[in-house]
Amino acid sequence: MIEFDDDKLHEECGVFGIYRHSDSAAHTALGLHALQHRGQEAAGIVTYDGKQFHSHRGLGLVGENFSSAKVIDRLRGQSAIGHNRYATTGETVLRNVQPLFAEFAFGGLAIAHNGNLTNAMALRRMLVERGCLFQSTSDSEVIIHLIAISRRATVVDRLIDALHQIEGAYSLVAMTGDSLIGVRDPMGVRPLILGRVEGAPVLTSESCALDIMGAEYVRDIEAGEVLVIDDSGIESLRPFKPTPSRFCIFEHVYFARPDSLVEGQSVYEVRKRIGAELARESMVEVDLVVPVPDSGVPAAIGYAAEAGQPFELGIIRNHYIGRTFIEPTDRIRHLGVKLKHNANAASIRGKRVVLVDDSIVRGTTSTKIVEMVRAAGATEVHMRVASPPTTNSCFYGVNTPTRDNLMAANMDIAEMADHIGVDSLAFVSIDGLYRAVGEDGRSASAPQYCDACFTGDYPIPLTDHDGGDYGRQLSLLTEAE
């Protein structure tokens, strides 16, 4: 598993699917390009041309794998699914790159998964005992084997049979010879959206993948919904017992692209509202509000407007730095922060500054940025964070450090302020965050979102961790190698 390069949680994966479009592979490549922020380690596309499946998968960015017309031309067919990967389980090697594909007695099936299964290890042990041979170390392969051993008659019924055995967070896009299928787990932790382009149905993690191709947004797939798209139309199935949904609130804070609609809300507007809540809760007298780019920008705009304080781009981000995790040593990782950000000394020299960031995970980036802003001449440096302290790891498809590496799990606010070197530090409250997403506050008896990384209230059982350490998302790699 990739180690952490900076101070952010790393989002999961992006999935995309399109049914009956003459240019299905090119549209899928475009969609994956728009979803690139959800996973940069690998990308893959599988198409079906009415007779056979075609697949191209590779490590690296979408543009590195799908910019050649030759590759797109080889991916023939009117249906396609695609996947951007950020590993939460399993190592980054080609055999783990999705979409996963298998030939069954009933035909071929390709599957792309965003999320993480929390009972994958238990299921894998059971499946191996029954003679299943695993090709990858990805948790998603468990679904393929459960489909293979199901005794149900149709592929949709086999898939539903498999879904009843898995636990965890998942948005799935699957493709058979004659259908495209979209699934969200019973609590709808990860997003999945239905759109349409030139009459062809599209499934995607976020609406920004619709905008890139001029597709229209139709609706979000609902929690616990299985959507089957074939030549007879679109059928919505509800195979699970209804459960209150618990969408990942961190999608609003950081993961989703700000120009996306998530659960029907503009991510950008929600982030500005979080900033406004933050200002109402913990405004500090300063001369300038400065965002930590890029993800802190919308919250900083909301904060500055609410506080009535000037907003300046006091830190500039270099967009051409690439992925710092290619240099995995601590020394280089710290250097990566300096390569990525630079203080705009002309605007901050001699000023009292409040920095607004979306989240702090380990504290390494924040420490360097504060140091840089002071060195550029700021007379006071305060920090306001547009999410509550991240005190717990995520087990639902987000690559998280162990709890010992989460700053907020090990220090109180004063210690954290001291550690990163600010004059004052404050985080938005959990109720403030809920207000920003349109609730009155967090319902203690029935929380409306998954917020486990802030509260420790895990809505889906962590079966693979029962009786064990909750500090780390288990990797199947350890068991498989």
The residues assigned a catalytic role are 13
Min dist. Cβ of residue 20 to ligand SF4 (A): 33
Closer residue to ligand SF4, CB minimum distance, 66 or 255: 255
Identify which of residues 201 and 363 has a Cβ nearer to ligand SF4 in the complex.
Answer: 363
Q: Which element (helix H / strand E) includes 380?
A: strand 380-385
- Please pick, from the candidates 249, 372, 376, 428, the single residue that binds ligand SF4 as defined by CB under 6 A: 249
Edge-to-edge strand list for the sheet holding 193-197: 53-59, 42-48, 79-85, 14-18, 200-204, 193-197, 216-220
Task: Compute, in degrees rounded to 10, the torsion defined by CA atoms 314, 453, 418, 304.
Answer: 30
Beta-ladder partners of 289 = 311, 354
Check binding of 7 to ligand SF4 (CB under 6 A). no
Residue from 13, 256, 398, 433 touching ligand SF4 (CB under 6 A): that is 398
As a whole number of angstroms, the distance between CA 286 and CA 352 comes to 5
The contacts of residue 435 (CB under 8 Å, 6+ apart) are 273, 277, 441
C-beta of 138 vs 392, nearer to ligand SF4: 392
The minimum distance between CB 169 and ligand SF4, in angstroms, equals 6
Complex with ligand SF4: residue 18 or 249, whichever CB lies closer: 249
**362 DSSP 8-state letter:** S
Residues 154 to 193 in contact with ligand SF4, rule: CB under 6 A? 189
Q: State the Cα angle at 226 between 225 and 228, rounded to 5°.
A: 140
Q: Which amino acid belongs to residue 166?
A: I
The yes or no reply on residue 337 touching ligand SF4 (CB under 6 A) is no
Q: How far is the CB of 389 from ligand SF4 (least distance, A)?
A: 12
Report the alpha-carbon distance of residue 406 to residue 457 in Å, rounded: 17
Contacting residue, 86, 250, 311, 325, with ligand SF4 by CB under 6 A: 250
Asked whether position 434 contacts ligand SF4 by CB under 6 A, the answer is: no
Eight-state DSSP code of residue 326: G
Comparing CB distances to ligand SF4, the nearer of 398 and 406 is 398
Minimum distance between the CB of residue 89 and ligand SF4, rounded to whole angstroms?
A: 14
379's CB contacts (< 8 A; 6+ apart) are 350, 351, 352
- Reported in sequence order, the residue ranges of 188-322 that DSSP labels E, i.e. its strands, are 193-197, 200-204, 216-220, 226-230, 233-237, 247-248, 261-262, 265-266, 288-291, 315-317
Residue range at the interface with ligand SF4 (CB under 6 A); choices 242-250, 273-281, 363-371, 415-423 = 242-250
301 CB contacts (<8 Å, ≥6 apart)? 272, 275, 291, 311
| Cα–Cα distance, 213 to 475 (Å, whole number) | 36
Angle between helices 120-129 and 141-149 (to 10 degrees): 40
- Minimum CB separation from ligand SF4 for residue 394, in Å? 3
Segment contacting ligand SF4 by CB under 6 A, of 127-135, 293-301, 356-364, 392-400: 392-400
Cβ nearer to ligand SF4, comparing 197 with 253: 253
Q: How far is the CB of 459 from ligand SF4 (least distance, A)?
A: 8
Q: How many whole angstroms separate alpha carbon 261 and alpha carbon 11?
A: 17
Interface region with ligand SF4, contact rule CB under 6 A, candidates 73-81, 149-157, 243-251, 349-357: 243-251
Q: Which of 266, 254, 356 is nearest to 10 (CA)?
A: 254
The minimum distance between CB 189 and ligand SF4, in angstroms, equals: 5
From candidates 248, 262, 270, 407, binder to ligand SF4 by CB under 6 A: 248
Taking the least distance from each CB to ligand SF4, the nearer of 253 and 426 is 253
User: Which is nearer to ligand SF4, 160 or 361 (by Cβ)?
Assistant: 361
3-state secondary structure of 219: strand
Site track for ligand SF4 across 438-477, x = CB under 6 A: ------------xxxx------------------------
226 scored as a contact of ligand SF4 (CB under 6 A): no
Instruction: Answer whether 355's CB lies under 8 Å from 373's CB.
Output: yes
Q: Which is nearer to ligand SF4, 203 or 249 (CB)?
A: 249
Q: Rule CB under 6 A: choose which of 48, 396, 427, 434 binds ligand SF4.
A: 396
Q: How far is the CB of 230 from ligand SF4 (least distance, A)?
A: 31
Q: Is 164 exposed, middle or buried (0-12, 13-18, 19+ CB in 10 A)?
A: exposed
Site size toward ligand SF4 (CB under 6 A) is: 11
* Total residue count of the chain as it appears in this document: 481
Q: Least Å distance between CB 361 and ligand SF4? A: 11
Residue from 81, 163, 394, 433 binding ligand SF4 (CB under 6 A): 394
Binding residues vs ligand SF4 (CB under 6 A): 189, 248-250, 394, 396, 398, 450-453
